[in-house]
Structure 1
Amino acid sequence: MGITKTEGFSSEINLMAERLKALGHPARLYIMQYLANCDRCIGNDLVEELPLAQPTISKHLSELKRVGLVQGTIDGKQMNYCINKEGWEAIQQFVVGISIKLDTPKCC
């Protein structure tokens, strides 16, 4: 398998690609949806919501945190997670920026 070449693209495009790739897993999409619907989330809440083991959920949260879509704070022995608004807004702006307007001529 070849290595994906990313050095020819801006750091902004590479970060966006990482964020969008992170959202390409159903568990991560569900986590984002769940976090969007609550004020804050303690990691154990997700164990009750998802059909996955706690270590697997932690791995997904770590990936979302790594790409800047989720942030977490330690509260005693628990980790509280929420959506990183800056990361999520960047995705929204990117998608809106490349969306095709309905009145544009179609090429196919």
Structure 2
Amino acid sequence: MLPFVGSAHAGYLPGERILGLSKLARAVGHFAARPQIQQRLTKQVADWLQATLRPAGVGVVIEAEHTCMTYRGVRALGSTTATSALLGRLRNDARSRQEFFALTRLAG
């Protein structure tokens, strides 16, 4: 098992509760602290935000470089993999989804 390194983009459309921004980073760090795969990490963060805040929408995107691709196998230096989890309005409303992806600088 080899590590992956990257950036996490997490956001939500407020509903019943709001969260301090540092808690978003802590949530990502909490789920990333153990051996993990990127797809599961993305979904765990989104599901935690949904369950904790009950927001109108949740979006999580993780972009990472996987050392299994850069050090072994295809040796694709600089290649990254992006995973996303969208819930609520960010999944169902095209304008909200497009705004979220624009803020993460990814194509929507």
Normalised to the residue count of structure 2, the TM-score between the two structures is: 0.27
Tell me which protein shows more strand as a share of its residues: 2
Tell me which protein shows more helix as a share of its residues: 1
